[in-house]
Amino acid sequence: MARKRIHSRRDLPPNLYVRNNGYYCYRSPRNGKEFGMGTNKKEAVNQAIEPNITLFESYSQSRLINRLIGNNANSMLTWLDRYHEIISKRGLREKTLGDYSGRINLLKEYFVGTNLQEITTKDIAKLLNSYTDQGKAASAKLMRSTLLDIFREAIAEGMIQLNLVEATRNPRVEVKRERLSLENFLLIRQAATTLPSWIGLSMDIALLTGQRLGDIRKMKWSDIKDDKLYVEQQKTGVKLSIPLSIGLPAVDMTLNSVIEICQKIHAGSETILASRKQEMLGEKTISKWFAKSRELTLLSWSGSPPSFHEIRSLSARLYTDTISGEFAQKLLGHKSAAMTEKYQDSRGSEWIEIAV
């Protein structure tokens, strides 16, 4: 049962309060912010009635019980369901869509009982800060990106007019994983010669093609036609036609020379790289054996040791130096040069030569 107002406040309209010194204040039911109204009771009452009427009209289409459980057309929960429908039509990979669904469910829990139009920049900042305070800056950055898109789509459908997420700080993510230098790559590659042959060959193909691990493990003999390797990137859907003649003078290899070695070892398999049983290799298997090769070098790292994926960055840097940045961008399958620039950044792993 609602608490009764004390005697001095009984005849005041909702949201209007009087202090012990006789000073009147109006408290906004939306955000709790108070506005001074002076000491004249009649004037304070008259001024409080107008915003109360306006607020009542704005909520009259949404019953309180529906607002509490988020069961109305303007609730954040309803809009998040609609947003899921929108992204489901974007042709995203199953894994990517699953990642979106996970973040949407987290947002449903956070904004339960909240109308889309009632959400403030402060609400969003509080959510993002909850991640950064736990040292999860990368998660905060990803959530902010998702929220930007959620509110952008809401504007497109006329649900809101402003994207409140744009006013929030973009979390800064400190990358701790070290880049892989050419010198260290060669040391790891040499160490791999003491392990199953496919380990070193997977490194060679990664360096020469600049492709992701998921695409490398699935490369098939049937993907080679007219002296070209055809790759449809699993993550982006980008289709590439890579000539087998492609090569890097820094390692004195061409893709064709590596493919010829693979033919001698894995000719009986469906995929270019295969296990001893001529079966397709798993991503975790390749990553684990790469880590073993890396550990055999006894190299020390100031941050997190480079993963297999860092070979893709090394490839981008080498092709940028030997051919061009534009060539590296096309090979990696990036739509923007800005994305390629992230891979071209050595993060201080390489020495800068000063010409005399």
pTM above 0.75, yes or no: no
Q: Is residue 143 part of a domain?
A: yes
- For residue 47, what is the domain's CATH number? 3.30.160.60
Catalytic hit among 152, 176, 235, 288: 235
Say if residue 42 is in the same domain as residue 117: no
Q: Is residue 64 part of a domain?
A: no
Catalytic hit among 179, 189, 212, 317: 212
Mean pLDDT over residues 123-140, rounded?
Answer: 89
Say if residue 237 is in the same domain as residue 108: no
Which pLDDT belongs to residue 70? 45
Say if residue 243 is in the same domain as residue 117: no
Which of the residue ranges 53-67, 122-136, 177-191 would you say has the lowest mean pLDDT?
53-67
Mean pLDDT of the chain: 85
- Domain extent, residue 216, equals 182-344
Query: Which residue is it, tokens 């998702």?
Result: 146
Say if residue 153 is in the same domain as residue 274: no
Which pLDDT belongs to residue 59? 46
Is the pLDDT at 261 greater than 80? The verdict is yes
Is the pLDDT at 26 greater than 50? The verdict is yes
Residue predicted with more confidence, 124 or 72: 124
- For residue 90, what is the domain's CATH number? 1.10.150.130
Active site residue 334: yes
Say if residue 188 is in the same domain as residue 327: yes
Catalytic hit among 179, 217, 312, 317: 312
Which pLDDT belongs to residue 350? 53
Active site residue 126: no
Domain count, the chain: 3
Q: Is residue 203 part of a domain?
A: yes
Catalytic hit among 27, 41, 228, 309: 309
Active site residue 309: yes
Say if residue 254 is in the same domain as residue 113: no
Active site residue 235: yes
Cα gap 29→14, rounded to integer Å: 9
Cα gap 95→101, rounded to integer Å: 10
Is the pLDDT at 303 greater than 80? The verdict is no
Is the pLDDT at 113 greater than 50? The verdict is yes
Q: Is residue 287 part of a domain?
A: yes
